[in-house]
Structure 1
Amino acid sequence: MPFPAADAPVTLDRREGSCGEVVLRRRGSGEESVHEIIANGCFLMDTSDGRSERLLVDAARRAIGTGNVAPRVLIGGLGVGFSLAHAAADPSWRRIAVVEREQAIIDWHRGGPLAAISGDALGDPRCVILHTDLLEHLHSTTDRYDALCLDIDNGPDWTVTEDNGDLYSPSGLAACKSALDPGGVLAVWSAKPSTSFEDALRNAGFSGVRTEEIRLARGVPDVVHLGVRPA
């Protein structure tokens, strides 16, 4: 049996998830290895950098302002764990909830290959993983948050599954707004800016709508779309 090429990805786990196939792959070996999550054949994210995921949380925290000394954040999508780990490293967050619908991804963090990123955060009493669909949670929860940090797609215009588009629809954005306390911030990561999504945020009643660029080492910048629930 031939060995894989040195730079070829190695599949570590492959499962049928709630909305299709999810795959964890590794490129390289040792300290230089990079893990990738693939959903329905679409690249989602990897462990090569994490700058975008960290700045998503930072952008939301800045938008909340320093007046809120103990904010609560809901992170939509566990991914490779950078957003969770970064939020947990900030003692100002009072509660950190992460919604993840794929059990496989949760397993990869709880004792799996991604535990090196999220292990400390998962042991933090402020942190909780909610195994559910994000939109279902937003429609049903009575919890309120000061920030929603959403990173479940490649952007509002480039969803991983067709039904994810409902999150960016008027009813989905209304659910996001209702889960926020007045003055709370919705932050949505995207691989590219979307003027139509900015318009959708304004039409949904968010104020202070803006888009922040995240400069990368190479390629076009990622962005974070931001909107505030009016007080």
Structure 2
Amino acid sequence: MIPWVLVDKAQVPGQVPGSGNDLRLMQRGAEFSIMLGQNELMNSRLSGSEQALATLACEKIATRETPRLLIGGLGMGFTLRAALAVLGPKAEVVVAELVPAVVVWARGPMAPVFGDSLSDPRVSIREADVRQLIRPAAESYDAILLDVDNGPDGLTRASNDSLYRRAGLSAAHRALRAGGVLAVWSSGPDAAFTQRLRQAGFDVEEKRARANGARGGARHVIWVATKVDVR
């Protein structure tokens, strides 16, 4: 069997240097894995639920002439590529990635995984915390897709939790245009989060998606929340 090889590592902002919680990009042949400690955050062979995140959300806004989409988390680009496949030529897709090294990996060793998605004229990459693009926005996006951390139950940095609390969800509600969609990926269900979405002014659908799509794999959860008037 081909062994795993460390390609690069990077510190996650907010983590204590030397804590052993660096992000590590691993490679085995044509397969890539991004690890945090002993936890695998993503693998280039498992893209089904990330693709579903984009497809479920973008199908709801695809008829809009010039949809504007914000994706929180570049990852391995599965969500980005799936969104581009659904949206038309006048769409604008903004991707916020907190860890600059992830963008470097996307343009470097993982370029074959990303294909031509990063050079698509509809796409702009911002090396920033997605919260910085949500908080000041007012009715700026038709959809916000969050594939940040492990979902509402954060893993990589405690500050990510604020995205999924009531204040963060209210900020996302304000940032969406009428009838806009907030879609959230998670490794597992969270009934309290579903309730917070409703309290923040969303109609909520909770979907299940397999990590490897039709071929199976772990069961992940995707919330598709449509903006309505705040109750």
The two structures have a TM-score, normalised by structure 2, of 0.87
CA gap of 1:210–1:171, structure 2 versus 1, over 3 A, is same
TM-superposition CA deviations, 1:92-132 (whole Å, max 9, x none): 2610110001000010112x111112241111111000110
CA-to-aligned-CA distance 1:36-84 (integer Å, 9 cap, x gap): 11235532111003111111101102333x5424321111100011111
CA distance in 2, matches of 1:167, 1:91: 25
Partner of 2:145: 149
Quickly say closer, same or farther: Cα 1:105–1:220, change in 2 above 3 A. closer
Matches within 5 A, 1:1-150: 6-20=1-15, 21-27=22-28, 29=29, 33-64=30-61, 67-92=63-88, 94-110=91-107, 112-141=108-137, 144-150=140-146
> What does 1:145-224 correspond to in 2, within 5 Å?
145-207=141-203, 209-215=204-210, 216=212, 217-224=215-222
Question: What amino acid is aligned across from residue 129 of structure 1 in structure 2?
Answer: I
Given residue 103 of structure 1, which amino acid in structure 2 is its aligned partner? P
Residues 114-167 of structure 1: per-residue CA shift (max 9 Å, x gap): 111224111111100011011122113467111111101222124321111111
Q: 1:142 to 1:130 in 2, by over 3 A?
A: farther
Q: What SS does the corresponding residue of 1:132 show, helix, strand or coil?
A: coil
Q: What is the alpha-carbon distance in structure 2 between the residues aligned to residue 195 and residue 17 of structure 1?
A: 28
Contact map agreement 1:100 1:134 (CA 8 A) in 2: yes
TM-score by length of structure 1 reads 0.87
Partners in 2 of 1:143 and 1:128 — Cα distance?
A: 19
Q: State the number of aligned residues.
A: 219
1:12 to 1:118, Cα distance in 2 relative to 1, 3 A = same
Gaps of 5+ in 2: 16-21
What amino acid does structure 2 have at the position aligned with 1:230? V
Question: What amino acid sits opposite 1:25 in the alignment?
Answer: M
Q: Deviations over 1:198-231 (max 9, x none)?
A: 0010111112x11011134344421211111116
1:193/1:17 Cα in 2 relative to 1: closer, same or farther (>3 Å)? closer
Ranges in structure 1 where 5+ consecutive residues have no aligned partner: 1-5
Q: Percent identity?
A: 36
Q: Determine helix, strand or coil for the equivalent of 1:89.
A: helix
In structure 2, the residue matched to 1:3 is none
Residue aligned with 1:80, SS: coil
Change (3 A) 1:188 1:119: same
